[in-house]
Structure 1
Amino acid sequence: MESGLIDSALARFRAVLGDACVLTDAADTTPHFTDWRGRYSGEALCVVRPGTVDELVQVVHICNEARLPMVPQGGNTGLCGGATPHAGRREVLVSLSRLDRVRAIDPDNASITVEAGCTLAAVQQAARDAGLLFPLSLASEGSCQIGGNLSTNAGGVHVLRHGNARDQVLGLEVVLPDGRLWDGLRALRKDNTGYDLKHLFIGAEGTLGFITAAVLKLAPQPTDTALAWVALDGPQRAIDLLHRLQAGAGDALNAFEVVGRTALEMVLQHIPGARDPLSVPAPWYALVELAGSGDRISDRLEALLAACMASGTVRDAVIAQDGAQALALWSLRENISEAQRIEGFSVKHDISVPVGAIPQFLEVAGERLEAELPGVRIVAFGHAGDGNLHYNLSFSDASDNARLVADAQVANAVVYEAVRALNGSISAEHGIGQLKRALLGECKSVVEMDMMRAIKRAFDPHALMNPGKVLPEYGE
């Protein structure tokens, strides 16, 4: 691209946004160019920070006319490099963090309209202030932004009861790659008028357009919650416990997380203040939460766990007695990723299989990995209630991880073969990004890939939106 065209585009960006919101100095742009894990780094012509939807529309028009690729970025907390620009390419990184208004709350309709740059925590707080609940909950909720949550169809700890991010959306506002604005901010729970276009953008990782605002569903705020840390003899006991709780607690079962002992030990080692809730170690644990209104949830949980202990399903358990204890238990689960980051390199997998197949996956993948990579350390944890496991590999000795870097393809092949054999998915909630785009064609049929390519061409014929992400052939 001619330098004159680039200079012209930069000048037009500044005319629209002002100098302060067109970043070109390395000190200002560098934090945007590396992903949270530090795995992917790149560069861009500039970072633009529109403060209104109209400003974003003008920025996109400029990029479209100059054929400048655009990389949408929210809180930059993704784990697959989906919001990171590439090195040596003339891309424009578009930060949506200034689009951070709560536009409206409708308690009668149990909905909230927010802009893409609102942090998840801010949306949760706005709902609480209205006496309602926005149930999406992630460890990064203080910094991740709702636009990114929807673009990756984020999951989190309450999918079991409330569903993924996709299930929380009533309507969207989107700036298309050619600069047109689609106002789909409808707050309807029933609208049977043709294609449901919003679902094309949810989970598309910014490859089809910019999500700028959303109408989100809210739920009643529970008046009572109970949380327990449960010791188990193995993964099958976790599934047995899940079924017992679903039968005994029904819709009150709000979260069901599993944590392997190795994951817990990593948190105990690296996270200040972390304490083992039980005196005797167990190979596996479950973090169980019930939530509801009008009854003694804690008594119900205690009775259910007592029955499970009597039957041998549960080895031991502790129930949080107050908010501080509940926070301490949740922190053991939510700090696993941070503890791994402190520990160093690991090969991460975000997989899903049918819930009942979790024990089989863990057994088969574990045996094959030990055969291929003797001594490999498996850190497994996640949302067992919906079949989603975070399955990460490293060695206890950091010096051995150099070998794991070289053998990452071997590890991936073993894990993904076990996933495919169980009709699972190589990405449950983190997305594809750069990390898994080369694998997409291996786990999708020819027909599926053709449909996705056709959608991409229809919305983004010049391949300007987030190139090099998701679809293998776009952005090479």
Structure 2
Amino acid sequence: MNPTDLSTHDAFLDACIAAIGDAHVLRTPADMAGYLTDWRKRYTGQARAVLRPGTTEEVAAIVRIAGAHDVALVPQGGNTGLSGGATPDVSGTQAVLSLARLRAVRAIDPANNTITVEAGCVLADVQRAAREGNRLFPLSLAAEGSCTIGGNLATNAGGTAVLCYGTTRELCLGLEVVTPSGEIWNGLRGLRKDNTGYDLRDLFIGAEGTLGIITAAVMKLYPLPAAQMTALAAVESPHAALKLLDIAQRAAGPLLTGFELMSDFCLELVGRHFPEQRYPFSQRYPQVVLLELSDNESEQHARDLFEGLMQTAFDEGVAHDAVVAQNLTESRAFWNLREHIPLAQAEEGLNIKHDIAVPISRIGHFIDETGALIAQAAPGARMVVFGHLGDGNLHYNVQTPEGGDPRAFLKTYQSALNRIVYDNVIAHQGTISAEHGIGQLKVGDNARVKSPVELSLMRALKHALDPHGRMNPGKVIDLG
């Protein structure tokens, strides 16, 4: 397709306007600007139009129109992704398909512990709707006030409660999807057991819109806990943190719903750029762990559990200090320390981010080995290491040396440091993307680290479901 061919251009837009209304076909640079740059401002693309359908049927109509005019579509939710998966390319030939108007909570079934929501529902609104039904929707992450459930499903987001509740994939029971041909698959079944063939649901979760467009989902709910206990514990190293994790799991079992690791440098950055976020201890420690217990019995039961497990940690020399949140305000303050780390990094300047996972048992060794390799390759580089220790997912980031030029540092070292990190991830039987997705950022790295058999299977699926390559092209997999 030639983007300068005005007859094709007009015919496509006219058909879209007829399908969803002129007000929802954005065409001016000013109207489209907020949809064309990713959250990290790493990628800025161009679009033929930004399309905002309001129903699943309108999404299907847009997909059929795009097929008739050979226009590629880039699905987008809250545009909070970190790998460029929802940003169009620079050709100006693609159209962004925003799901933001599909915001309905279609149903809550407390007896079945499910909620059915449309893809454009903001995560915080899903959590709120669940609470209003006296239930818990446990997916929680820093962008929950703006990210959407469709985007969470598209990237298989993890968040802070994976340790107990699993990733978005594990929280999903059924999907509604518009296929690349413009058909609607209604798989909105709230069943825990359905053994009737291929698991189509799991094909679309984590596929980042490359196989079809998720328009609605049935998600699991849980009883609201009677109490939540949030605490911080100071430890010497990631190895000690793993010992504390073992103690906590033995003491609390499934009541342990959060276990986050934060290095001292992470908290130093938070204090530097957000001084209102106070360091919780009277002295500095190499590592701080954030723990959360969710108890269905009582606050006292949760407090007794925590005090018992921490006494064991002190007795065994695993922990040096601990502080327990006494109220909701203090609990929120503890979580704010954790959630301000990426914000502080952004304030500090450009950095090299990695969203990796390795088996939990290997985390300490991975951090030690990779840190030494990076120090040798890029002297003075500062490591910002934090994340979901309880499920093996680390945000393993490299900050420019103190006083250095961030852009020059990235230009000189990014490729080499990515290679070091990803090679060591694979050596430790891990993954180069644990929850942020591949997007366009990691397509080349994904092709390098995956086996030929995996790549062949993924390409076969893509060709089978999207033979014309119109669903979010250039993302997740290099078709060769």
Common fold: TM-score over 0.5 = yes
Q: Supply the distance in 2 between the matched residues of 1:97 and 1:114 (Cα, whole angstroms).
A: 13
Contact 2:262 2:287 in 1 (8 A): yes
**Residue 153 of structure 2 aligns with which residue?**
150
Deviation at 1:307, TM superposition (A): 2.1
Matches within 5 A, 1:157-168: 157-168=160-171
* Corresponding residue to 2:325 among 311, 317, 320: 320
**Residue 210 of structure 1 aligns with which residue?**
213
Contact 1:105 1:113 in 2 (8 A): yes
Residue identity in the other structure for 2:248: L
Alignment pair present for 1:32 and 2:38 = no
Q: Gaps (5+ residues) in structure 1?
A: none
Residue identity in the other structure for 1:369: I
Q: Residues 368-390 of structure 1: CA distance to partner in whole angstroms, max 9, x if unpaired?
A: 00100000000000001011000
Give me the identity figure in percent: 50
**Residue 130 of structure 1 aligns with which residue?**
133
Q: Supply the distance in 1 between the matched residues of 2:228 and 2:388 (Cα, whole angstroms).
A: 19
- What secondary structure does 2:352 align onto? coil
**Residue 286 of structure 2 aligns with which residue?**
283
Deviation at 1:38, TM superposition (A): 0.5
Alignment pair present for 1:394 and 2:399 = yes
Deviation at 1:323, TM superposition (A): 0.4
Deviation at 1:270, TM superposition (A): 1.4
**Residue 466 of structure 2 aligns with which residue?**
460
Q: Residues 362-414 of structure 1: CA distance to partner in whole angstroms, max 9, x if unpaired?
A: 01100000100000000000001011000011122242551233210110111
Q: Residues 53-94 of structure 1: CA distance to partner in whole angstroms, max 9, x if unpaired?
A: 111111111001111000000000000000001112400100
Matches within 5 A, 1:53-202: 53-202=56-205
* Corresponding residue to 2:241 among 235, 238, 243: 238
Count of residue pairs the alignment pairs up: 474
Residue identity in the other structure for 1:239: L
Deviation at 1:357, TM superposition (A): 0.4
* Corresponding residue to 1:306 among 298, 303, 311: 311
Alignment pair present for 1:449 and 2:455 = yes
Q: Supply the distance in 1 between the matched residues of 2:455 and 2:437 (Cα, whole angstroms).
A: 16
- Cα RMSD over matched residues? 1.0
Contact 1:344 1:398 in 2 (8 A): no
Matches within 5 A, 1:248-397: 248-295=251-298, 296-395=301-400, 396-397=402-403
Question: Bigger CA drift: 166-175 or 305-314?
Answer: 305-314
Q: Supply the distance in 2 between the matched residues of 1:416 and 1:54 (Cα, whole angstroms).
A: 42
Deviation at 1:268, TM superposition (A): 1.1
Normalising by structure 1, what TM-score?
0.98
- What secondary structure does 1:174 align onto? strand
Contact 1:119 1:144 in 2 (8 A): yes
**Residue 21 of structure 2 aligns with which residue?**
18
Question: Bigger CA drift: 317-326 or 18-27?
Answer: 18-27
Contact 1:349 1:391 in 2 (8 A): yes
Deviation at 1:310, TM superposition (A): 2.1
Residue identity in the other structure for 2:212: G
Residue 400 to residue 170, structure 1, CA distance change in 2 (3 Å): closer
Q: Supply the distance in 1 between the matched residues of 2:6 and 2:132 (Cα, whole angstroms).
A: 50
Contact 2:152 2:168 in 1 (8 A): yes
Q: Residues 224-251 of structure 1: CA distance to partner in whole angstroms, max 9, x if unpaired?
A: 1111111110010000000000011111
Contact 2:269 2:341 in 1 (8 A): yes
Deviation at 1:466, TM superposition (A): 0.3
Q: Residues 76-115 of structure 1: CA distance to partner in whole angstroms, max 9, x if unpaired?
A: 0000000001112400100000000000000110000000
Deviation at 1:19, TM superposition (A): 1.4
